[in-house]
């Protein structure tokens, strides 16, 4: 894990995978371990669970610093643009049915 940050309805992570790891395995570990920790420590009144699915983007090594800044500044960024609007801009063909 390089950096992680989020807001009330989603998180962003910058992750460097080993050649032996798959995205699905890493996401499963992150979701499973974090859900277990959150519920064990009674962070919320109701049991916590992640939504199904996830989004993944690969980036160029030259973009790592910009992506770190973007993730670090999530709260400020999403004051200007909601996650749904941003996702529709990034992936317009795949997000037509989002609210």
Q: For residue 96, is pLDDT > 70?
A: no
Token pair 């979701």 is found at: 31
> Which pLDDT tens digit goes with each residue over 57-68?
899 999 999 999
Instruction: Report CA dihedral (7, 12, 13, 14) to the nearest 10 degrees.
Output: -130
The one-character DSSP state at 73 is: T
Total structural domains in the chain? Answer: 1
Which of 61, 58, 68, 60 has the alpha carbon at shortest distance from 90? Answer: 58
Does 99 fall in a domain? Answer: no
Residue ranges making up the domain that contains 11: 3-90
Provide mean pLDDT across the span 12-21. Answer: 94
CB 3 within 8 A of CB 71: yes
CB 58 within 8 A of CB 90: no
> Which pLDDT tens digit goes with each residue over 67-93?
999 899 888 877 787 777 877 777 765
């Amino acid at each position: 894990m390089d950096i992680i940050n989020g807001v009330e309805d989603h998180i962003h992570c910058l992750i460097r995978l080993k050649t032996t790891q798959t995205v699905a395995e890493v996401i499963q570990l992150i979701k499973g371990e974090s859900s277990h920790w959150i519920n064990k420590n009674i962070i919320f009144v109701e049991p916590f669970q992640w939504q199904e699915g996830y989004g993944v983007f690969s980036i160029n090594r030259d973009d790592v610093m910009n992506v770190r800044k973007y993730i670090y500044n999530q709260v400020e960024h999403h004051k200007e643009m909601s996650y749904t609007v941003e996702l529709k801009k990034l992936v317009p063909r795949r997000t037509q049915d989002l609210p």
